[in-house]
Amino acid sequence: MPLRCAHFKLANFIRPGEAFHFAQTTLTADNAARYHDHDYHEVFWVTHGRGEHFLNGRAHPLQAGQLYLIRPRDRHRVTGSDDAPLRIANLAFPSRSWAEVRRRYYAGEGDGFARPEEQRVLPLDAKASAALEHWAERLSTPERPRVALDGFLMELPRLLRQPVAGIDPVPEWLALACREIVRPEHFSGGTPKLAKLAGRSPSHVARAAVRWLGRTPTDIVNQARLDYSARQLAETTRPIMDIALDCGLNNLSHFYALFRRRYGVSPRRYRLKALPTVRG
């Protein structure tokens, strides 16, 4: 009798304003997720233990040092072992995010997610495993910002020892500045604060941001501001004006225009949709 397959939606795992879901989980034979497919792309890698991956009707052994590329139409389930519990890191993200990064940086390159099943499980050497450990720390930030997701997807081919011509890893100073700018005390200072966090001149940061991230410093700062404002709207009853001021945006009309451009609705409408019991 075939297994019943559930359908998971990314919207059920992320909060308003978040760009992705990331979790590090320990699995045994008793706490595995249901057999499912989903409406998002997924990457997971095994850091400890052993288990089994049931993928599209076939069982595959899992062990530390493996990474899987999972596409939306895949049906799968991961289980661990009671005597050697499985520890995995799991990243789920919108399919459109992968499509955008590929279009911008990998034009003409093959899509790893389009490979046959047996070619979408990849061994990790010590260097790739160390890099993934570092990325797990970046992706664990509570804000789950788009810049962290884009950085990971840009580096994914290199992590898998599939170099992409002309694409270098994002410089650590730029990655650090982008991680730090998501804090209210930083993004309220605008692009000058981003340059200060980077330890580079504003013009240097602008060139590097466009080269490696395809965004201007203004784009990066505004994204941090809007991610924060979206969470505040969804989780608090604070006045919208106060939230805008926290973001460093004194012009309420400008704040509304930026918010509507990113989310397609006004801040008030977003609040009502995200959490109907909140009024402001």
Residues 145 and 228 in one domain: no
At 153, which CATH number?
2.60.120.280
Report the mean per-residue pLDDT for the chain. 85
135 and 63 within one domain: yes
The answer as to whether 191 is a domain residue is no
> Residue 242 sits in a domain of what CATH number?
1.10.10.60
Range of the domain at 28: 10-169
What pLDDT does 275 receive? 60
Backbone angles phi, psi at 148, to 5 degrees: -70, -40
Residues 206-222: tens digit of each pLDDT:
988 887 777 789 988 98
Do both 269 and 139 map to the same domain?
A: no
Domain annotation covers residue 158:
yes
Asked, for residue 153, whether it belongs to a domain, the answer is yes
Tell me if 193 is assigned to some domain: no
pLDDT digits 0-9 by tens, 6-27: 999 999 999 888 999 999 999 8
Whether 159 and 223 map to the same domain: the answer is no
The answer for residues whose C-beta is within 8 angstroms of residue 162's C-beta and 6 or more apart is: 112
How many domains is the chain partitioned into structurally?
A: 2
Considering the entire predicted model, what is its pTM? Answer: 0.61
Phi and psi torsions of 125, nearest 5°? -85, 180
In this prediction, residue 155 carries a pLDDT of 85
Q: Is the pLDDT of residue 154 over 80?
A: yes
Is residue 210 one of the residues assigned to a domain? no
Q: What is the pLDDT of residue 197?
A: 94
Residue 129 — φ and ψ, nearest 5°? -65, -40
Note the pLDDT of residue 2: 54
Identify whether 143 is part of a domain.
yes
The domain boundary residue, chosen from 169, 195, 211: 169
**24 and 133 inside one domain:** yes
Query: Do 102 and 234 lie in a common domain?
Result: no
Which of 8-17, 36-45, 181-190, 213-222 shows the lowest per-residue confidence on average (mean pLDDT)?
A: 213-222
Neighbours of 181 (CB within 10 A): 24
Residue 202 belongs to a domain: no
Residues 207-243 as b or e (16 or more Cβ within 10 Å = b): ebbeebbebebebbbbbbbbbbbbbbbbeeeeebeeb
Whether residues 139 and 247 fall in one domain: no
Same domain (yes/no): 150, 235? no
Domain end position, chosen among 169, 202, 229: 169
Same domain, 230 and 132: no
Is residue 73 over pLDDT 80? Answer: yes
142 and 266 share one domain:
no
With beta carbons less than 8 A apart as the criterion, state whether 87 and 59 touch. no
The reply to whether 151 and 240 lie within a common domain is: no
Are residues 237 and 164 both part of a single domain?
A: no
186 lies in some domain: no
